[in-house]
Amino acid sequence: MSAVIPLDHVAIQNTIARYCVALDTKDWELLSSSVFTEDVSADYPFNKTMSDVKTVANAIKNRLGEVITQHALTTQIIEVNRDGKTASAETYFTGNHFGHGKYEGQVLVAYGKYVDELVCTGQGKGTYREWRIKKRTVVFMKRIGDEHIMDH
């Protein structure tokens, strides 16, 4: 049985945070280099049942396009399994999508949660073990604002 390292929670939080950074900075490469496994399985409200990191990254890129966003993570529960190699996380988020052009000054706000299954890659970065998301389900609880902000 592998030991669970106390810093695993911090490493998992960083993996989930890197996802938001990738979206907000439009650094799509981060999704494959630091967030998801190559064979990630993902289910998003606007893109159901995706099965690899390239498909997921392209779907997110196509959805967000040039929309300026700001994602914030809030309430979170992380459970590292006894094997020390797998974990689950549920993370609440708020995603702000800022209108441009004729929608300048308007905001579409998404409230929801990321439900993730993660795996430890066995590699480390400094004092942390590296974790990646192997399965993600995005659940919207509420969206407030004009959905046309997402049109591009």
Mean pLDDT of the residues in the chain? 92
Beta bridge partners of 60: none
3-state secondary structure of 148: helix
Residue 60 pLDDT level (bands cut at 50, 70, 90): very high
pLDDT confidence tier of residue 1, bands split at 50, 70 and 90: very low
For residue 47, name the pLDDT band (cuts at 50, 70, 90): confident
Determine the Cα–Cα distance for residues 21 and 69; give it in Å rounded to an integer.
Answer: 10
| Interval 112-119 mean pLDDT | 98
Query: What CATH number should be reported for the domain whose range is 8-150?
Result: 3.10.450.50
pTM equals 0.92
Q: Which is more confidently placed, 41 or 5?
A: 41
145: alpha, beta or left? (left if phi > 0; alpha if psi -120 to 50): left
- Where are the domains positioned within the chain? 8-150
Q: Listing from the earlier edge strand, what are the strands of the sheet with 47-50?
A: 47-50, 36-44, 128-144, 107-125, 86-98, 68-80
